[in-house]
């Protein structure tokens, strides 16, 4: 039989236990970097709309999104473990779970494996095994090629390592059609060309972080003007590739208009960044985050236009 005093003592203990559970769950969710996954999903669903020329099956979309989310989460978990030392050094990432040692390494690795296996099973059974295989390939590429082989060794890390982030359009398309065609390859190429200016803009802002962590991002080894020139070049390439989807996928007028206007906005911001760099501005005064945030909106707008276009024409 409990006394009133014992009940008062039990309540705080119970609350502390629930709080601990929430912390553990939050740590495991953070390992998967859900904010990064959001952008990947933006490039998956539009590819499905474009592939079917209308509305894809809701069940198929759900299976593809869940499987794709788990695949990306798995890759991010392994990246979190392997880059824990880098994350602990950088101000932008030092509160991540592995940097704060909130999750034991064996547990994190196990979590990543479980997510990876679940993603393959869900995509294989819910969509098809080609999509499942592409998701697994993207996962392995991100972990072994980008994280382990390129990131700490070359300034071209994000150029070639970024290929892993180009797979979602292929996965979305193949989930609908069961095969690869030219339109999803163009979507793949858009993300490939878009990734360097997007990432280099962020790296310009956090150059000191990457320097202290000994990660040879382009802004670490080149002056801002040289980086801005390359950002502009890749931005122009991105816009040019985006317009290729018009003839390749035989879209209506909506897509090229939206892609053209959004592309001009991106190019204008890249030119403005170059002018600020040539004026000798650095760090926050260089305002690279303006291009970084705009690039997020650009990618979303272009892919959404690709999804909506077949619904109109």
Using the predicted structure, report yes or no on whether residue 270 has a pLDDT greater than 50: yes
More confident residue, 124 or 10: 124
- List pLDDT tens digits, range 184-208: 999 999 999 999 999 999 999 999 9
The dihedrals phi and psi of 307, each to the nearest 5 degrees, come to -75, -40
Using the predicted structure, report yes or no on whether residue 148 has a pLDDT greater than 80: yes
Residues, the chain: 313
Cα(175)–Cα(197) distance, integer angstroms: 29
- Secondary structure (H, E, C), the chain: CCCHHHHHHHHHHHHHHHHHHHHHHHHHHHHCCHHHHHHHHHCCHHHHHHHHCCCCCHHHHHHHHHHHHHHHHHHHHHHHHHCHHHHHHCCCCCCCCCCCCCCCHHHHHHHHHHHHHHHHHHHHHHCCHHHHHHHHHHHHHHHHHHHHHHCCCCCCHHHHHHHHHHHHHHHHHHHHHCCCCHHHHHHHHHHHHHHHHHHHHHHHHCHHHHHHCCCCCHHHHCCHHHHHHHHHHHHHHHHHHHHHHHHHHCCCCHHHHHHHHHHHHHHHHHHHHHHHHHCCCCHHHHCHHHHHHHHHHHHHHHHHHHHHHHHHC
Using the predicted structure, report yes or no on whether residue 1 has a pLDDT greater than 60: no
Give the lowest-confidence range in 92-101, 152-161, 238-247.
92-101
Q: What's the pTM?
A: 0.92
Q: What is the mean pLDDT of the chain?
A: 93
Confidence of residue 72 (pLDDT cuts 50, 70, 90): very high
What is the pLDDT at residue 40?
79
Confidence of residue 34 (pLDDT cuts 50, 70, 90): confident
Give the lowest-confidence range in 26-40, 94-108, 112-126, 272-286.
26-40
What is the pLDDT at residue 35?
80
Using the predicted structure, report yes or no on whether residue 3 has a pLDDT greater than 60: no
What is the pLDDT at residue 9?
53
- List pLDDT tens digits, range 6-33: 444 555 566 666 768 888 899 999 999 8
CB 254 within 8 A of CB 312: yes
Query: What average pLDDT does this structure show over 107-118?
Result: 97
Confidence of residue 283 (pLDDT cuts 50, 70, 90): confident
């Amino acid at each position: 039989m409990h006394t009133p005093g014992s009940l008062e003592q039990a309540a705080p203990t119970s609350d502390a236990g629930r709080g601990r559970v929430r912390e553990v769950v939050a740590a495991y969710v953070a390992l998967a970097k859900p904010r990064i996954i959001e952008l990947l999903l933006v490039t998956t669903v539009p590819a499905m709309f474009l592939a079917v020329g209308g509305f894809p099956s809701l069940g198929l979309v759900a299976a593809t999104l869940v499987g794709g989310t788990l695949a990306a989460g798995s890759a991010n978990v392994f990246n979190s473990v392997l880059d824990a030392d880098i994350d602990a050094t950088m101000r932008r990432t030092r509160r991540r779970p592995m940097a704060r040692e909130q999750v034991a390494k064996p547990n994190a690795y196990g979590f990543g494996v479980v997510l990876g296996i679940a993603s393959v099973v869900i995509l294989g059974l819910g969509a098809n095994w080609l999509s499942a295989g592409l998701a697994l390939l993207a996962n392995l590429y991100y972990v072994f090629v980008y994280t382990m082989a390129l990131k700490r060794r070359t300034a071209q890390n994000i150029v070639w390592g970024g290929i892993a982030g180009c797979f979602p359009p292929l996965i979305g398309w193949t989930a609908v059609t069961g095969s690869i065609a030219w339109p999803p390859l163009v979507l793949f190429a858009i993300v490939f060309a878009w990734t360097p200016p997007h990432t280099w803009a962020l790296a310009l802002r956090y150059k000191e972080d990457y320097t202290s962590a000994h990660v040879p991002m382009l802004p670490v080894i080149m002056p801002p003007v040289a980086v801005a020139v390359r950002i502009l070049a890749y931005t122009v390439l991105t816009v040019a590739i985006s317009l290729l989807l018009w003839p390749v996928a035989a879209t209506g007028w909506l897509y090229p208009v939206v892609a053209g206007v959004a592309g001009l906005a991106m190019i204008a911001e890249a030119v403005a960044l170059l002018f600020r760099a040539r004026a000798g501005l650095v760090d926050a005064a260089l305002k690279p985050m303006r291009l970084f945030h705009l690039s997020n909106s650009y990618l979303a707008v272009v892919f959404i236009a690709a999804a909506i276009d077949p619904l109109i024409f």
